[in-house]
Every structure is written in C-alpha cells, then in structure tokens.
Amino acid sequence: MNGHYTEIQLSQKSSEFSDFVEKFNAMSKQLSETTVSRNQLQRIVAERTEALRLISNTDPLTNIANRRFLYEKGEIELTRNQRYNTSLALLMIDCDFFKKVNDTYGHLIGDKVLQHLCRTFEKVIRSIDFLARYGGEEFVILLPNSNQVGAIEMAKRIQQTLKNSPLVVDELSLSVTISIGIAITDDPSTTFEGLLDEADHALFLAKKNGRDRFEIA
C-alpha cells in the first residue's frame, strides 16, 4: 500500500521525546512507501500505538509519569488493594523553597533540580512502586502493599538519600530538601481522590511545621 504520510512535529524541543518522534515518523514513512504484509502492518501499528501511549503518559521534563497516568495507575492500584485486602500508601512530595531556587539561580537550574529529585527517587523506590509528577514541584509515589511503617521508612530513606546527594552543576553544588505528606488506606470505601486529599493535607502540615520533614494523614 502506497500513500502520503504526515510527520509529527514537536511544538517544543524535547530531547526526551525526540527519539520517539523520529521512530514514529520513520514508521509512518515506511508504511507509506512500502507494500507490507498484514503481520508487518499489525506490528507497525502496535509500535506506533505504544510510542504514542508513552508520549501521552510521560512528563517531558522529568521523563516520569505525568498526572494523567498517575490517576489511571492510582485507580488500578486502589482496586487491587481493595480486591486483595491489602494496604496502599501514597507519598505526596513538595520541593522546599523551589520558587527561591528559580529566583536565585534561574529556571534552567530549577528544571535540573526537578530532574535531580526524580533520579534520586528512582534510586530509592522499589520496582513495584510508581512515581509521577503531580504538578509544578510536587510529586507522588504510590507504594503498593505498604503499611504505615513501610511508608515512613521509605520517606526517611528518600530524604536521607537526597541529603547525601546534592545537585552539582558546573561549580554549583545545591542541597535540596523536601516535605512529604503520607496517606495510607486499607478501607474499601476510599477513593483515589480521597487518598490524594489526605496526603495533600499531611503535606500542608509538613510545610507548616518547618519543612524538610514528613507528616502522616
């Protein structure tokens, strides 16, 4: 089958997604120029669909899950939690004094701070945990099969690892702290929005009580 194809053009330059877009456009060109079998066509369509799904679910700056994917994953984990009568913990994390970082060092350093936070989180969390950018300088980590003790231990490990790993950019070494709100549920009537609200309230208390700490809903 021969025909025309349209390339995807990113509205903003993004090194994180450039590879995906290049592959997508290459597959589109191949599809338009080549006579392919049904199996080849199905494979190409599947690859294009997966590439688009990844783009739509990923935050382009930090290369972690975005808010949209967080809600999707959160509903899945909450349903699993209720079905198997296990506990689910949620950490809501805020970068302390992030506005001051932007005002003092500029938005480029601010972006690097957010990326540094995510790489630090990824070093600490388990393979079954789920990290997402909630918005701005806020992040959420879902901890399946975790009770209050496990959630507190994770919060402490994240904060300690961050303290031991300052962001280094050229000659600048920047120590960043975070505040964490913790919410845990084993209640089958709990909604994901409700769990987020509880964690958000705990985060508010952590910031109100001095920052660089965690509070439990």
Residues belonging to the active site: 137
CA distance linking residue 93 with residue 40, whole number of Å: 44
Strand ranges of the sheet holding 178-185, from the earlier edge strand across to the other edge: 130-135, 138-144, 88-95, 178-185, 214-216
- Under DSSP, is residue 65 helix (H, G, I), strand (E, B) or coil? strand
String of b and e for 58-89 (b: at least 16 CB within 10 Å)? bbeebbbbbeebbeebbeebbeebbeeeebbb
CA distance linking residue 92 with residue 78, whole number of Å: 16
Alpha helix (H) residue ranges in 84-163: 98-105, 107-124, 148-163
H/E element, 169: strand 167-169
